[in-house]
Amino acid sequence: MSGLRITVWNEGVHEKISEKVQKVYPNSIGGQIAQYLEKQPGIASVRSVQLDDPDQGLSDEILENTDVMTWWGHLAHDKVSEENAEKVQNRVLNGMGLVVLHSGHMSKPFRRLMGTGCMLKWREWQSEGERERVWVVDPAHPIANGIPEYIELERSEMYGEHFDIPQPDQLVFVSWYQGGEVFRSGCCWHRGLGKVFYFSPGHETLPIYYNEHILKVIYNGVLWCAPTKPVNGVFRGNFDPPIEKIG
């Protein structure tokens, strides 16, 4: 089969308890992202899962059949079991791509993969947000493909430095906010055979996942994170040639 198998993991808690969020995302935050991704070239399938699904949407069957997972969570990071967080971590180390969105910076899989606290500074300006400019700082990076010099968001939640992450292997976006802060808003890391992309825009009460450029960055991130080699440790194991064959 050609094309990528995507799993959109969505916590799905805000959508159940907040009318405001339901109004912005009647189809859920994950549903909105999935609906966009499934129309993009090179994507074979998009599966939407939520925290309250069987196995928290993270069964072995799902993980083994996912090339790239996107992750949106906020209120219930602690509800994701350690066992499942470890499974996601291990899948990434074995080649699965992971695109972590917005408040997913505090999710268990992301923090495990980073090894740091992952906290940041934030401000939800009268819950209406403030202006953000998401500047492309690496125009030649594949994740910046088709993205203008900067993406302007009229209303966004401020995420600011210091962001407690390891130095990104590649930094693609830096955001500026009306309040004066800056933030490393698009960061790439390699972990084992896998790749991780973090992208910060996407507060639940603001319609950010309808912005065509933001969606395109998520899609580009999925493509960048996609496994480039067969996964599951093809390079590993005991390679033990007789000594005379080496030299």
By C-beta, is 94 or 205 nearer to Zn ion? 205
- Residue 224 gets which letter from DSSP? H
3 state DSSP class of 130:
strand
Q: What is the DSSP string of 74-95?
A: STTGGGS-HHHHHHHHHHHHTT
Least CB distance from residue 82 to Zn ion, whole Å? 24
Least CB distance from residue 113 to Zn ion, whole Å? 21
The verdict on whether omega for the bond into residue 162 sits within 30 degrees of 0, i.e. cis, is yes
By C-beta, is 11 or 157 nearer to Zn ion? 157
Point out the residue whose Cβ comes nearest to Zn ion.
203
By C-beta, is 79 or 123 nearer to Zn ion? 123
Contact footprint for Zn ion (CB under 5 A)? 103, 157, 203
Structural tokens at position 212: 């065509």
Least CB distance from residue 206 to Zn ion, whole Å? 8
Question: Position of tokens 């808003």?
Answer: 185
Least CB distance from residue 74 to Zn ion, whole Å? 6
User: Comparing C-alpha atoms, which of 192, 174, 191 is closest to residue 183?
Assistant: 174
By C-beta, is 67 or 130 nearer to Zn ion? 130
